[in-house]
Structure formats: C-alpha cells, structure tokens
C-alpha cells in the first residue's frame, strides 16, 4: 500500500467525532490504525416559537396596502408547485402577461412580472432605463418620488426634481418647465401617491415628454385597476404596479410594461444594466416576450404567479370600467362620511383625490394612533397614519380591490366616529 491514506472512517459517538486513518508502516504493506477524536461543536437549540402553529387574528386591512385577499387568490397560492419552465407554468405566465396588458390597456411586447414587490418593479425600471450620468426628472409630491430619486442616485444618474407638497399634483406647465430646464432622458411621476393620497392626471404627459425626447415612467402601484388608465393612448413609456393593492394578491410578483421606445432605449444602452436580476432583456425572454425559447434566468416565485393570475382574473371578470366605478363610489361614500364627522380631507380638489387611498386630516388635539388603535382593538380594522411630512397629521384609508365594498367603508366610518369620541371623552 502506497500513499498516506487508503481508508478513512468517521464514527460519531454522541458529541465526539472519531476519525480513523490507515497509515502504512513499511514496504510490506503492513498498516496500523491511528484514531483521533475531536469534539463536535455544540448545537444551538431549535427556536421554540417554531414548535407551534402560527396564530393570528383575521383583520380588515383598510390601510394603503396590502389589501385582503379573496379566498380564490389564497387558494391559488396553495396549489402544487410546478417547475418554473414547465409548459403548464409558462402557460400561466402567458395568461398573467395578457392580464397585465388588459389592466394597463397596452399591447406592449415587453410586459412581465418582476419577481419582487413594487419596490422591485421600481428598481427594475430605474436600472434598465437609466445609465450613469444621464439626467432624470423626478416629480416628487410624496414618498415614492423620494424613493425613486434615491434609486436613481445609487445607479449613478443625475437627479433633478420638481417638488410639490403632499396633497398637490403637477400640471403640464410644471413638467414642461422642468423638461426645458433640465433636458432629462426620463421623467418619473407617481400616478397614485399613497403617502399624499393624490391622483396625478396623466393625459398629455406622454406627448409632452416625447416633444422633448424624454421617456415617461409612471408608478401606478396604488392606482392601477382602481382608476382609469390607458398606457398606449396616453403614450406612457414604462409603468409598473403591485400585486397587493387593487389586484388583492399577496405581494411578490409585480407587473411591469415597457413601450417600444423604452425597449429600444434598453437595447441600445452604452453600458451594461447594473442589475442582473432585474435585467429586462433576460426577463423579457423568461416571460416569452422576445420570440426566442425561454432560458433559465432565475426561479420565478411560482406561488405568487398563481396568486396574481387569480387577482388579474378577478379584475377581468369584473371589467375595468366596473372596477373603476366601484372604487369611485366607495371613495365618495368615505369622503362624504368623513365630512359628516367634521373631518377634513387632505386633498381639497376632488378630481385630484385618489379613490384607492384617502388622506384624512387628524383634528387638533387628537393623537392619530389612539384612534387607529381603537379601530384595531374594537373592530380589527386597520387605519394607517401618515408618512414623511404628513406623519402624525393624517389617517390613510385604503379602499382597494376585494376590500372596496360599502360595508367596509361603513365599518371604517363607524370606527373613526367611535374612536374620536373615545379619545375626546
């Protein structure tokens, strides 16, 4: 026997690992066994919290998102897994893509779901459409403009802003002034600004941006499906939304769509897309958008795709016009009810109010959280507070998708009324 080791045996004894090695003694091949003992590291105990089932109450989520999921969506999430490139799953992906095109009212070839929440879709838009040193014009009237500007800076873009206070929207004149001054390659606006409860008018913005050789990117996470939206007719170049708002599906797969202009900008980049995971050239292939055989890029969130498929199916069955009408009627019921309680809405101009998320001013001398806590404790109803400049100053009530019913609006109004009375004594 030549060499050091012909056989190695490892024999664990309780917390001791015994390693035995055959070692040659001389040329005759005679060997002896040398055994070494080493102590195994002590294992940490398993978490006791995982030794029992999850326990949580049923809550009515009437904040800015997520909204409650209907049973059919939750049931879809529990269906057996398929392989992420199995033909049965890619068929479901195709159905999701068609549903997204319907919700956005677009024929865009590059229409996909990003594997991630709305923030992932926002980052995908940023990293694909902007190159280092390019200028982006961000219309900031709340948290989402701030977030997008942050992402652009991290990607090396030059950020210029038009800023309005929460509760106000931008005019065509505002945007044109920014286009003329900064000459951006991309303009960002938030369709439904959930932090400021505004609905940004979009008609005319796409044409205006194209006049100045700029692309228009729209964040419609808190608006799509609940208000009119016509991506192609309004010449929107890139848009994204989330699963957990009007579509009433769990967060995890987020629709994104790029126009031909946006697609061509990506394909003609001078520098590589900084994110492999969010690279739209790969995602377009995985989602069957480029005419080539689908290649492995990443493992898609299979159960999330099932769920958003059912969310989109619900929207298709109801019809967009009916969904828009339902959200508008429920929002008007909330607005009128809040005013009857002596409360003031953050957005004064009715046309600029976002039906999906309403901002209600907190009366002087009232702690917003006391009222929200009352609603949760008494009715298991979520009513959220403000963010950023409106933190502590407003409540935000969401009316989205499965939750957009008159009964739910009445429950929120009852909780607000009783909560205000309880804190005022």
Question: Which residue pairs, CB below 8 angstroms and at least 24 apart, start in 205-211?
Answer: 205/172, 205/175, 205/234, 205/236, 206/234, 206/235, 206/236, 206/237, 207/235, 208/172, 208/175, 208/176, 208/179, 209/175, 209/179, 209/235, 209/237, 210/235, 210/261, 211/179
Residue ranges of the annotated binding site are 396
CA dist., res. 415 & res. 87, Å (int): 49
Beta-ladder partners of 137: 160, 187
Residue ranges of the annotated binding site for substrate are 396
For residue 29, which of 7, 1, 5, 6 has the smallest C-alpha distance?
1
Q: Cα dist. 82→155, 295, 346, 372 in Å?
A: 35, 16, 46, 42
Residue with token string 């005019």: 171
Tokens read off for 158: 């030059």
Q: Cα dist. 47→24, 44, 310, 322 in Å?
A: 47, 9, 35, 48
Tokens read off for 125: 């838009």
- How many CB atoms are located within 10 Å of the residue 251 CB? 20
For residue 226, which of 96, 345, 118, 353 has the smallest C-alpha distance?
353
CA dist., res. 49 & res. 165, Å (int): 45
Looking at 268-319, list the stretches that DSSP marks H as alpha helix, in order from N- to C-terminal side: 280-286, 302-318
Q: What is the CA 116 to chain-centroid distance, rounded?
A: 7
**Strand ranges in 40-81 using DSSP code E only, listed in sequence order:** 60-61
Question: Is 370 within 8 Å of 423 (Cβ atoms)?
Answer: yes
CA dist., res. 154 & res. 194, Å (int): 24
CA dist., res. 121 & res. 282, Å (int): 15
């Amino acid at each position: 026997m030549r060499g050091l080791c012909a056989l190695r045996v490892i024999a664990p004894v309780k917390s001791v690992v015994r390693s035995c090695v055959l070692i040659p003694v001389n040329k005759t091949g005679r060997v002896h066994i040398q055994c070494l003992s080493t102590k195994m590291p002590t294992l940490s105990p398993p978490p006791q919290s995982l030794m029992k089932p999850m326990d949580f109450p049923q809550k009515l989520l009437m904040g800015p998102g997520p909204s409650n999921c209907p049973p059919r969506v939750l049931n879809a999430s529990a269906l057996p897994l398929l392989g992420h490139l199995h033909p049965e799953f890619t068929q479901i992906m195709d159905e999701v893509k068609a549903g997204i095109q319907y919700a956005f009212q677009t024929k865009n070839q590059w229409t996909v779901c990003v594997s991630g929440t709305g923030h992932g879709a926002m980052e995908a838009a940023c990293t694909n459409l902007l190159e280092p040193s390019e200028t982006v014009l961000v219309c900031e009237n709340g948290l989402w403009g701030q977030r997008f500007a942050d992402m652009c800076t991290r990607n090396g873009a030059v950020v210029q802003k038009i800023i309005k206070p929460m509760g106000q929207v931008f005019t065509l004149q505002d945007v044109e002034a920014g286009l003329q001054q900064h000459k951006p390659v991309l303009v960002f606006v938030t369709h439904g600004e959930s932090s400021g409860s505004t609905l940004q008018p979009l008609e005319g913005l796409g044409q205006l941006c194209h006049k100045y050789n700029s692309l228009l990117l729209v964040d419609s996470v808190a608006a799509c499906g609940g208000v009119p939206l016509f991506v192609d007719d309004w010449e929107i170049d890139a848009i994204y939304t989330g699963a957990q708002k009007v579509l009433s599906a769990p967060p995890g797969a987020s629709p994104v769509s790029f126009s031909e202009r946006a697609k061509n900008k990506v394909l003609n980049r001078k520098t590589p897309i900084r994110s492999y995971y969010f690279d739209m050239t790969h995602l377009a292939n995985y989602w069957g958008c480029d005419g080539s055989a689908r290649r492995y890029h990443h493992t898609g969130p299979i159960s999330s795709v099932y769920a958003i498929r059912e969310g989109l199916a619900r929207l298709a069955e109801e019809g967009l016009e009916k969904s828009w009408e339902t959200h508008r009627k429920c929002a008007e019921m909330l607005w009128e009810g809040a005013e009857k309680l002596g409360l003031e809405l953050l957005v004064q101009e009715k046309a600029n109010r976002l039906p999906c998320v309403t901002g209600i001013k907190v009366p002087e001398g009232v702690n917003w959280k006391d009222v929200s806590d009352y609603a949760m404790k008494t009715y298991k109803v979520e009513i959220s507070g403000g963010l950023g400049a409106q933190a502590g100053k407003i409540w935000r009530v969401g009316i989205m998708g499965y939750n957009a019913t008159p009964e739910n609006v009445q429950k929120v109004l009852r909780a607000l009324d009783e909560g205000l009375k309880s804190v005022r004594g």
